[in-house]
Amino acid sequence: MAEMVRNYLVIGAHPDDPDLLFGGCAVKLLKAGHRVKFVSVSSGDCGHYAMEPAALALRRHREAQESAKVAGLTGYEILDVPDCHVVCTLELREKLIRVIRDFGPDVVISHRLCDYHADHRATAQCVMDCAYLVRVPMYCADTPIPRKDPVFAYGYDAFTDPRPIRADAVTEIDSVAETKLRMLDCHRSQFYEWLPWNMGLEAPEPDRMSRQERQEYLDRHWGGRDRQAAEFAREALRERYGARGDEIRRAELFELSPYGAQPAPAEFRALFPD
Confidence of residue 243 (pLDDT cuts 50, 70, 90): very high
pLDDT for residue 1: 38
Non-local (6+) Cβ contacts of 78 within 8 A are 15, 39, 40, 42, 43, 44, 60, 61, 64
Q: Tell me the C-alpha distance between 252 and 165, whole Å.
A: 12
Classify residue 150: in a domain, yes or no. yes
In this structure, the chain runs to a length of 274
- Split into its structural domains, the chain has a count of 1
**Mind listing the pLDDT tens digit for each residue in 9-46?**
999 999 999 999 999 999 999 999 999 999 999 999 99
Domain that residue 30 falls in: 7-270
**Mind listing the pLDDT tens digit for each residue in 111-123?**
999 999 999 999 9
Q: Tell me the C-alpha distance between 70 and 162, whole Å.
A: 36
Interior/surface letters 113-122, b for 16+ CB within 10 angstroms, e for the rest = bbbeeebbbb
Classify residue 1: in a domain, yes or no. no
- pTM, two decimals, is 0.97
Classify residue 121: in a domain, yes or no. yes
Task: Provide the terminal-to-terminal Cα distance of the chain, rounded to the nearest Å.
Answer: 18
Q: Tell me the C-alpha distance between 109 and 9, whole Å.
A: 6
Q: Tell me the C-alpha distance between 257 and 113, whole Å.
A: 11
Task: Note the Cα 120 to chain centre separation in Å.
Answer: 11
Classify residue 107: in a domain, yes or no. yes
**Mind listing the pLDDT tens digit for each residue in 173-188?**
999 999 999 999 999 9
pLDDT higher than 70, residue 248 = yes
**H/E segment holding residue 122:** helix 118-133
**Mind listing the pLDDT tens digit for each residue in 121-151?**
999 999 999 999 999 999 999 999 999 999 9
Classify residue 2: in a domain, yes or no. no
Output the domain CATH number for residue 101. 3.40.50.10320
Question: Across residues 1-12, what is the average pLDDT?
Answer: 87
Q: Distance of CA 273 to CAs 30, 43, 240, Å?
A: 10, 30, 11
